[in-house]
Amino acid sequence: MFLSKTIKDKQMKTTNIYITLIFLSSLVFSSCDLEVSPTDTYDQETFWYGSKTAQAGLTGCYAALRSQYLYGNASVLWEEAASPNAFNYDNRLGWNSIALGTHTSDLSIITNRWSAAYTGIGRCNLLIDNIDKSKELSQIEIQQMKAEARFLRALFYQILITYYDKVPLIVEAPNIDQGTLGRTDRTEIVDFIVSELDEIANVLPLRYTSSASNGRPTRGAAMALKARLLNFEASPLVNTTNDRSKWEAAANAAEAVINLGVYQLYPTYRSLFTASAENSAESIFDIQFIPEVGMGSSFDVTLRQYNNSAPLQGLVDAYWMMDGKPRSQSAYQNSANYENLDPRFKQTIVYPGSVFMGETVRVDGTNVNFKVIQTGYTYKKYSIYDSEVPAANDVSVGDNFSGINYMVLRYADVLLMYAEAKNEMGELTETSWNATVRPIRQRAGFSAASALNYPGSNADLLSDHIRYERRIEFAGEGYYYNDVRRWKTAENELNKTVRKSDGSAIITRTFNKDRDYWWPVPSSQLEQNPALRPNNPGWGNE
Amino acid sequence: MEKPDKKTILMKFNLIICLLLSAFMQVNAEIYAQKVTLNAQDVSMEDVFEAIKKQTGYVFFYNSEQLKDIRVDVQVTNSSVKETLEKCLKDLPFSYKIIENNIVIKSEGKMAKTSRRGSSQENIVVNGVIRDTDGNPLPGATVHVKNDRLKSVTTNVEGYFSIQVVEGSTLVISFIGFEPQEVIAKRDAQFNIVLKESESELDEVVVVGYRTQRKETLTGAVSTIDMSSKETETITHASQALYGTTGVWLNQAGSKPGSDGAVIRIRGVNTLSGNNPLVLLDGVEYSMSEIDPADIETITVLKDASAAIYGSKSSNGVILLTSKKGKAGKPRIEYRSHVGLQNATYLPDVVDDPILYMQMRNRAEFNSGKLTGTYSQEQIDEYRAGMSIDPSVYPASNWFDITMKQGMVQQHNARVSGGSENITYSIGLGYMDQQGILITNDDAQRYSFNMKLSADVTPRLKVSAGLTGNVRTYDEVGYGTSTVMGVIMRGLPIMSDYHRNNVYGSTWLYTPGRNNIENPRMETEQGFTKRDYQEFLSSLTLDYKLPFDIKYNGVFGYRKIDHWSKDFIPLMYTVNPKTGDQKVFNSTATSPRVKDWDAYNKQYSISHRLVWEKLFSDKHLAHVMFGQDYQVNDNRSFQAYNAGFYDNSLQELNALKDQTNAQATGGSSLDKLASFYSRLAYTFDDKYLFESTFRVDGSSRFAPGNEWGFFPSISAGWLISEEDFFESNQINLLKVRGSVGKLGNQAVSIGSYNSEVVINTGYNYSFGGTQTGGAAVSALNYRDIKWESTLSYNIGIDLQAFNNKLSVTGDYFYKRTFDILRSVGIPSQVGGLTGPTLNLGTVDNKGYEFGVNYRDQIGAFDYGVNASLTYVKNEVVDIKGEERISGRYIIKEGYPINSYYLYESLGYYQSQDEIRDAQAVYGTRTKIRPGYIKYANQNDDAYIDDQDRIITGSTIPAYTFGFGANVGYKNFIVEAQFQGVSDVDVYPTGNVAFPFNNGAGVTYEWARDSWSETNPNSAYPLLTTYTDGGENFINSTHWLQDASYIRMKNIQLGYVFPASIANKMNIDRLMIYVSGQNLLTISKFKLWDPEMTVTRGDLYEYPNLKTFSFGLNVSF
């Protein structure tokens, strides 16, 4: 016995304690359970089984559109400021550097637009590869959801090749091996997007029966996106040999949309960009914004307060007169400032002396509810504000809280793409004109025959008209930067001193025609994946 | 006891504990029934009591002073306690009383010293000789009256002293290297005092991994901090005690009230994420910032493989905190208190002259290529004229002055401790109040409680319980400190400080980049964040002596954190001071808003082990230990939010019925760790020391199959000075030691091996006007990740010399961390996903550390000097040839982790001709003009592009050092500690660092020293705005700044009241002091405190503070 001096009873107790301790030890040995399963996230494997989860996965694909590097926040407006139309004084996301030609390959928007688009592509690829696992969705539902994801993926690729030219074409769910892929030939990507859009056009409905599906792509959206892509491919920037067949393909794609017969111009220009016209027959595909925290755009606060997409005097000067002629050739050439202009001017631009938010616009920044101090102008397109005093709750709508949808593709664009393609082919006839430019001008508020009628078959003259239409009709919608790129006119238009409403100079912009037509692949991507080298011309090691 | 069904035990763990405890109770009850058998001659009363206690379990309470000289003979057999006591105390002036299980011995007569002392309050002369144990006289030894160092003499060459004192007072005889002795001054006494050589601090027992050990026999690299040596330092957070510890880099960025901004790195930066050391309080994982420094007795830092016994969490070193415990003896009451005034150490020197500001901004814009300036000449003229008339319209505001004030900190701690031989206790209470330097919403309180109770329940069983708690409340500005610091740094002199009825002045002048309706005072004053943080740790420790010299030790810990916060942002209004236009500053859609948040974390841990230790033949000491730990961390949180209250007066969630904007979110995580470990140690003749440890850890952070990791270590030491051949009168101790071990790191976030699909509002989208919930994958995952490991090698030497006056410690270390867990960057083309966490890469840390301490005494002077130096060279050895670039930082083989990766600045373009022929970054020359920064083309190709950057600078200091000195003269103590780092760089950006950063202001440095034709070699380039002159602000070496510094961390002057005064107040010891922290800093970096978060970039953190305090420490 180990305890010599203690009585038996105590000894037994001690032995018991000893035994207890051994048990206690074995207890811990056996209870080393290391199993932990998360209760706040789904496992990738089982996620696609359910219908609600799969729907959420699809919604996540759409959410990528809300990135401020694609269509979210006021991205569209800042992009406008990379064009000759507007000025971005605070270099949001680096957009002013692009306008000035001082951008580098690590610029915020250049870096982040790339990754935002691939984020969307990755989500779509994941859905497309996995949704067949569903145990709850019907085949019809699966096909529809796949088609939506394929549309979005096509849109993201279309964005990528519009800015960066060649990019890696990845069409499978994300895996680590994709990280070493190099850039795919442009034509291969274009062919892929076209074939995708052709295929899903047969799956997507012409219209959705329920308004709850507003925001999802239709057959027309797929076809209009194809038209935009082919329009870009036919333009001088890409179509360096002026291959007529490319214009033909572009014209056909646009015509196919027109022939669907489901789209028409909204009756009034100004109200097209208000909540009342959302999801109208002019809208082909839009970003759905609602006035809830984080779910809106920042258009109102940007236009009202930041004024960092301020229209330039150059844009104001570009407006023709109400007879459809430039001021120098117009009967109205002696009109006062801002008077007798293209009716779209006053529906688009807030200018000194006009009434906005119930106040007379002053350039010195003394307006109470808004500022136009950068150039003297701001846009009112897509804003809830106009000349009236806003409701008290609307006076200071903040960031990401503006609820008006932004139209990525609208019918007027398709009409003008068609007219442009036809004209480039030398086939813009009076009939075609009357089906495209004329109704747009009519809707804009023109009444003079000189503005509405076919100006004759001179292709250059028609080209002037079409390019004028695109600049003015879409002013403030972020289209013009890509237009001057694809027309290769940026080297003229972006090598200029930009001015305020009083004519005073702000700064002189530069555009390097040998470099700046394409954005560089972001340096962070080259660092991560050397297979992406060489970069675009003018951007280092070639 | 029946052997219970195993399954039942497994399920009912708590029940077992209860049974276990009740078993002990039963043992106890029985013991009290014992009889006493004693047979002894000429033993002390204390020995008698001890014997009775052992046999019966009764605990004695008595005044040992009264009993200490009394010796008795006692002979009883199987007597009752009463009988025994009666026999013992017969004829002695004492009585006894049994109260339950305690026996109280009371003095009856007046034979105590007090009576004698009362009659002899007169001075007597006391003489004596002081010798060492060999009989040699000790010249220069000090004899002083206890607590009165003014009354002191030193011995002469013969070791003789003579001193005049009050009879009965206590004399303290001390000499460096010897143990001090106390004697009572008696009339006509001739003292022959023999001082024993002290075995110095090496005899100290220190807490190391699952064990206490004599410092002399340590084989690892271990630093210890005795908190009593820091009693006059006004330490507000425990981490501050680590300043000056060899091998430790402590960086305290910002002194925000209520938070501990300290980052602790032990021997460099091992890995790419997760570099914090493991902190344990009395053996249970705890946070260093949640214990009141006054509750800590010692801190041990394990720096090498000696930490390997902590396995998976040990690779960054381990910090062991031991809380204060009671000592047997009369109750001791201590009270410590200090009050300090605080001011920022550094604030930027911003241009607060509005005219100069406007002129500089205009000039900057012209210089950046703009063709018109922001402010017109008319506006400037009007402003100049108006300034003397109406300063609220034409202000000259310095927003640092407006939003900041002098801060104050006060800290009070009280502790009562004591105990009998069987039970000791220590109870501490602490209170800290800090009023920060922001004018409002910047204060913090800490209420801390600490209790430790220890009882020898039976001769075999010791039970200790501890409870440590900390309640902190603090108020922060509504938008958060870093946001508001950014706002203050963005303040302009033209912004009006008008404030009345919660309406604040803005400015009538438009400035680009601003919404021009802001006011930094408003964003400081309006709204708040209130936080309430509670952290409690309760622990129960059982020590039980088992047969065969085996000891059982079990620690059961439960730690709970409850962190609640409330944010309130009211609707704020600013007014244009000129026009009177009033504007709502923040959105009516989201304000007034309230956010309530609560996080609830609990950690329970079980740790127990069996230890066998035995000395054979007086020479062989063997030690064997087996243990196991199990720890679970369960974290939960939730948050509720609502906005759109009627007005600013109500702040609770239920004050709003409208739920349109309401949001509720939350989360949880669970983390488990199981461990088995063992130690085998052998010491021969106190000369040769060997130790090895083994640990196996399993973590739930890894996928099944990869959970377990093995972490062994071995170490050895040789006490050369103990060898017979080693003969030196000068060297008291010489030891060499070495260790090798594998340490682990599980620094990977919970669930990172899982492929998850995340639900998040960021993935929502609206269809047809209705928000629809979305989900997405956000990260690529790799299932087979496993433990990160560090191989640690250490060789060290310890030396003590000259009667232990000098001690030197030196270490060379080499740590190789491999299988580094790091999230890998992948190109965005992979779905824009965050890269997976992989075991990838190897990092080396090599270096040395060196500590030296010297203390001596010359008469009434005693003094000490100390210095420490640590050098660490960090190098990434292998990351599969990748370059990991993240903005300004690069991780690349052959360079330290996170080196700077920058364009090289070659000075400025001095002429237009130079620009015409120059290369510019990406060929963009258009805006460059003389005075702009010129960058180098490193690879001499046709472009300057991202390939032309160079690797330079470091975010990790190579050297950390500290030194200090203390001098005591009679009752005064002066002490100063310095600390610093070198070879570290910062890259400040943002408001203040760069001129006119998106509408911010500019510093006077730019006014004084920016480029002009007459100042071609200026510190700054041509004045441009940051927004428009981006070419100058490309990440380049021009903006990289040396953040090395030397700082007087602490200086103090203390005074100990003489015993004559203290005793009159019934005080044992009373000390008062004044001290200063951070009063002096020397650094090349002037923009901000160089002790900052080096990789932060912007400067928007709370300033560091210098403190001037007054304090007192008193004990009864």
Q: Does B767 touch chain A (CB under 8 A)?
A: yes
8 Å CB contact of B941 and A541:
yes
Contacts of A18 in chain B (CB under 8 A): 546-547
Q: Which of A21, A101, A305 faces B926 most closely, judged by CB atoms? A: A101
- The helix/strand/coil state of A112 is helix
- In chain A, which among 392-411 make CB contacts under 8 A with chain B? 392-393, 395-399, 401
Average predicted confidence (pLDDT) for chain A: 92
Using the CB atoms, write b or e for B575-613: b if 16+ within 10 Å. bbbbeebebebbbbbbbbbbbbbbbebebebbbbbbbee
**pLDDT, greater one: B616 or A359:** A359
Instruction: Give residue A17's pLDDT.
Output: 63
B524: left (phi over 0), alpha (psi -120 to 50) or beta: alpha
Q: Does A78 touch chain B (CB under 8 A)?
A: no
- In chain A, which among 159-188 make CB contacts under 8 A with chain B? 167-168, 170, 173-176, 178-179, 181
- DSSP letters of B144-207? EETTEEEEEEE--TTSEEEEEEETT-EEEEE-TTB--EEEE--TT-EEEEEEPBP-TGGGSEEE
Using the CB atoms, write b or e for B25-34: b if 16+ within 10 Å. eebeeebeeb
- In chain B, which among 836-855 make CB contacts under 8 A with chain A? 836
CA distance B510 to chain A (A): 6
Four-residue CA torsion sign, B386, B392, B394, B396: positive
* ipTM of the modeled complex: 0.93
Instruction: Give residue A160's pLDDT.
Output: 98
Phi, psi of B864 (to 5 degrees): -150, 145
Using 50, 70 and 90 to split pLDDT, how confident is the model at A9? low
8 Å CB contact of B630 and A28:
yes
Q: Does A53 touch chain B (CB under 8 A)?
A: yes
8 Å CB contact of A293 and B606:
no
Contacts of A400 in chain B (CB under 8 A): none
A298: nearest Cα among B475, B587, B231: B587
Which H/E stretch holds residue A122? helix A108-130
Instruction: Give residue B338's pLDDT.
Output: 92
8 Å CB contact of A90 and B998:
yes
**pLDDT, greater one: B912 or A34:** B912
Q: Which of B10, B668, B829 faces A27 most closely, judged by CB atoms? A: B10
Q: Does B759 touch chain A (CB under 8 A)?
A: yes
DSSP single-letter state for residue B1057: P
Q: Which of B3, B31, B771 faces A292 most closely, judged by CB atoms? A: B771
Q: Does B758 touch chain A (CB under 8 A)?
A: yes
Contacts of A119 in chain B (CB under 8 A): 828, 831-833
Q: Could you say which residues of chain B have pLDDT below 50?
A: 1-33, 110-120
Q: Is residue B374 within 8 Å of residue B361, measured between CB atoms?
A: yes
Instruction: Give residue A330's pLDDT.
Output: 95
In sequence order, what are the beta bridge partners of A42? B757
- In chain A, which among 523-542 make CB contacts under 8 A with chain B? 523-529, 532, 538-541
Q: Which of A63, A104, A374 faces B922 most closely, judged by CB atoms? A: A104
Contacts of B549 in chain A (CB under 8 A): none
**pLDDT tens per residue across span A466-499:** 999 999 999 999 999 999 999 999 999 999 999 9
Phi, psi of B763 (to 5 degrees): -100, 10
Number of H helices, E strands in chain A: 22, 11
Cα B343 from chain centre: 21
Residues 6 or more apart whose CB falls under 8 angstroms from that of B10 comprise A27, A30, A31
Q: Which of A39, A305, A397 faces B589 most closely, judged by CB atoms? A: A397
CA dist B211 → A35, A131, B204, B324, B521 (Å): 31, 57, 14, 17, 54
Q: How many CB atoms lie within 10 A of CB A249?
A: 20
Phi, psi of B14 (to 5 degrees): -60, -35
For residue B148, give the amino acid letter: D
Q: Does A23 touch chain B (CB under 8 A)?
A: yes
Q: What's the token pair of residue A351?
A: 């200018």
Contacts of A21 in chain B (CB under 8 A): 20, 544, 546, 552
Instruction: Find, in chain A, the residue whose alpha carbon is nearest to that of B632.
Output: A34
Contacts of B511 in chain A (CB under 8 A): none
Contacts of A214 in chain B (CB under 8 A): 767-769
- In chain A, which among 124-153 make CB contacts under 8 A with chain B? 125-126
8 Å CB contact of B775 and A59:
yes
DSSP single-letter state for residue A236: T
Cα–Cα distance for residue pair B172/B181, rounded to 1 Å: 6
Q: Which of B581, B825, B947 faces A540 most closely, judged by CB atoms? A: B947
Alpha-helical regions (H) of B472-565 = 481-489, 520-525
- In chain B, which among 433-462 make CB contacts under 8 A with chain A? 460
Instruction: Find, in chain B, the residue whose alpha carbon is nearest to that of A495.
Output: B926
Q: What's the token pair of residue B986?
A: 């910062």
8 Å CB contact of A18 and B761:
no
Q: Does A365 touch chain B (CB under 8 A)?
A: yes
Phi, psi of B640 (to 5 degrees): -130, 145
Q: Is residue B182 within 8 Å of residue B170, measured between CB atoms?
A: yes
Instruction: Find, in chain A, the residue whose alpha carbon is nearest to that of B769.
Output: A290
- The helix/strand/coil state of A423 is helix
Q: Which of A34, A365, A500 faces B699 most closely, judged by CB atoms? A: A34
Alpha-helical regions (H) of B431-584 = 481-489, 520-525
- In chain A, which among 492-511 make CB contacts under 8 A with chain B? 497, 500, 504-508, 510
Q: What is the pTM of this model?
A: 0.79
Instruction: Give residue B1099's pLDDT.
Output: 85
Contacts of A375 in chain B (CB under 8 A): none
Q: Does A514 touch chain B (CB under 8 A)?
A: no
Q: What's the token pair of residue B576?
A: 């244009």
10 Å CB burial of residue B293 (0-12, 13-18, 19+) is buried
Q: What's the token pair of residue B237?
A: 């957070």
For residue B321, give the amino acid letter: L
Which H/E stretch holds residue B20? helix B13-31
8 Å CB contact of A20 and B19:
yes
